[in-house]
Chain A
């Protein structure tokens, strides 16, 4: 993919002007010096930090306005979002879903904001760079395996890879390992390709005509942004459910 056409968003320019040296020193200290020492900040990391600041500001704004008797509109909106995430978690993980709800909910809000911020002119989606979805997918992989091991014990969790009957183990174990490794890969590629293709298609149609056509594709891109955040959360819940929920299968 052509890296020469990189365009620095205003936050990246800001960070590179003032904070280039500390990041270069930090990266060199941990053994991965940047290619260009005067330009260590990339678009995706500065946009990610901006999204984190926006989410924190939003929730800091919400928190003092929470009230049991007279909920305002913002509180009702977020209660609806929380109820939605909770119902999805309850369907996917039937047993003790409250424990796994925070991770899935945070993922949903974070990925949703990251996808949507690319639509605002002057900002760029961090999920458009392959690094960001890859990082989130690795986090999901580690999370559901860790939760599975914590729920069942390391030995029993790994023994589930052998399938329903021990005689099938030499066949099932490679299949299970490959399918488990394919999960973060597919999560990454799904999110990255949808966001990247959405932007490229909008740009391509903007090159054709600036009147109505790009707006249609931007609308489609907005819908896809919501959908991809929801699907990421749903797949996380399904993976956690399948890692944690084996207990009930053996009871039957």
Chain B
């Protein structure tokens, strides 16, 4: 088992050789335009918070369906509506990014 793991590690190491190709030139890379950087940060924040909100919505819906299986159809309807409305908030950020870029 240990030999196999060592063999896998050695192969991965050899496959990853191109990493050592660059790295000698020290570039002071501060980007000339900050738009893509902030676009990425903004979209990541928006998607993360949207994920939190949708997680809470699904958690509430799943618990409601577990407590009251008879109301599953109504709860599922409210869940879908809620998820789409929360999703659209993350998409507003995407639209602003597309407009600015």
A residues in contact (CB < 8 Å) with B: 1, 186, 189-190, 192-194, 196-197, 227-228, 230-231, 234
User: Would you list the 7 A-B pairs with minimal beta carbon distance, nearest first?
Assistant: A193-B91, A190-B88, A231-B84, A193-B95, A189-B95, A193-B94, A1-B98
Partner of A197, one of B81, B84, B94: B94
Provide the bound-state CA to CA distance between A1 and B95, in Å: 10
Would you call B80 an interface residue if the criterion is a C-beta within 8 Å of the partner chain's C-beta atoms?
A: yes
Count chain B residues whose beta carbon lies closer than 8 angstroms to a beta carbon of A: 12
Of chain A, the residue at the smallest CB distance from B101 is: A1
- Closest Cβ–Cβ distance, residue A61 to chain B (whole Å): 31
Told that A1-B99, A186-B88 touch, could you supply 17 new A-B pairs with CB distance under 8 A? A1-B98, A1-B101, A189-B95, A190-B88, A190-B91, A192-B95, A193-B88, A193-B92, A193-B94, A194-B88, A194-B91, A196-B98, A197-B91, A197-B94, A227-B84, A231-B80, A231-B81
Bound state CA distance, A216 and B100, in angstroms? 29
The residue of chain A having its C-beta at the shortest distance from the C-beta of B90 within the complex is A193
Given known A1-B98, A1-B99, contact A189–B84 (CB-CB < 8 A): no
Binding site for A on B (CB under 8 A): 80-81, 84, 87-88, 91-92, 94-95, 98-99, 101
Residues of A near B84 (CB, < 8 A) are: 190, 227-228, 231
Q: What is the count of residue pairs linking A and B with beta-carbon distances less than 8 angstroms?
A: 32
Secondary structure of the B contact surface, majority rule? helix
CB neighbours of A192 from chain B (8 A): 95
7 A-B pairs whose Cβ atoms sit less than 8 Å apart in the complex? A1-B99, A1-B101, A190-B88, A193-B88, A194-B88, A227-B80, A231-B81
B95 near A234: Cβ-Cβ < 8 Å: no
- Residues of B with C-beta under 8 A to A196: 98
Q: How far is the CA of A1 from the CA of B80 in the complex (A)?
A: 31
- A189–B81 Cα distance when bound, in Å, is 16
From A190, which residue of chain B is reached at the shortest CB distance?
A: B88
Q: In the assembled complex, which residues on chain B have CB atoms less than 8 Å from the CB atom of A228?
A: 84
Which residues from chain B contact A227 at a C-beta distance below 8 Å? Answer: 80, 84
Residue in chain B with minimal CB distance to A196 = B98
